[in-house]
Amino acid sequence: MADSNQLLQRNKDLEATCAHEEARIIARHQVFVITCLDPRTDSSAFLELDLCDAMVVGNAGGHVSADVLKDLAYAGYLASALVAGGPQFEAAVVHHEAAPPGSSPAEAPRRLA
């Protein structure tokens, strides 16, 4: 069973720093990252992303699904509503090559498209 208490405490600790008060809704890097939800990969780590650096969506396999397209469309709408003319941004699909259970995705080459 997952221990969500530790995650909730981390959230409370972050809230206590007030870092969220300076968080931006418009990302620093104008990129929408679509990546795999595999816990053996961490796009924030290998892309060196900090809080508010990019919009990141993870799903099974890092595929561009209908739901991801809806998220992308909403991000574009939100950007245009908040910033005159809306910032332009790119979409980056990041996924690892075949990484069977028990192996490390780091062993398979990654491609940024």
pLDDT above 90 covers a percentage of the chain that reads 23
Domain count, the chain: 1
19 belongs to a structural domain: no
CB 36 within 8 A of CB 47: no
- Res. 82: pLDDT tops 90: no
Residue 38 lies in a domain: yes
Query: Where in the sequence is the domain holding 28, given as residue range(s)?
Result: 24-112
Model confidence, pTM: 0.72
Query: Cα–Cα distance between 44 and 91 in angstroms, integer?
Result: 16
Residue 3: pLDDT band by 50, 70, 90 thresholds?
A: confident
Instruction: Provide the pLDDT confidence category of residue 103 given band limits of 50, 70 and 90.
Output: low
What CATH number should be reported for the domain holding residue 65? Answer: 3.40.1050.10
- With respect to residue 11, please indicate whether it lies within any of the assigned structural domains: no
**Confidence band for 113, pLDDT divided at 50, 70 and 90:** very low
In whole angstroms, give the CA distance from residue 58 to residue 56: 7
- pLDDT score of 66: 93
**Are 84 and 26 a contacting pair, CB within 8 Å?**
no
When pLDDT is cut at 50, 70 and 90, the band that residue 53 belongs to is very high
Residues 6+ positions from 67 with CB-CB distance below 8 Å: 59
Helix (H, G, I), strand (E, B) or coil at 108: coil
Please check whether residue 2 lies inside any domain of the structure.
Answer: no
Size (the chain), residues:
113
What is the secondary structure of 7-39 as a DSSP string?
A: HHHHHHHHHHHTGGGG--SS-SS-EEEEEE--T
9 falls within a domain: no
Inside any domain, residue 16: no
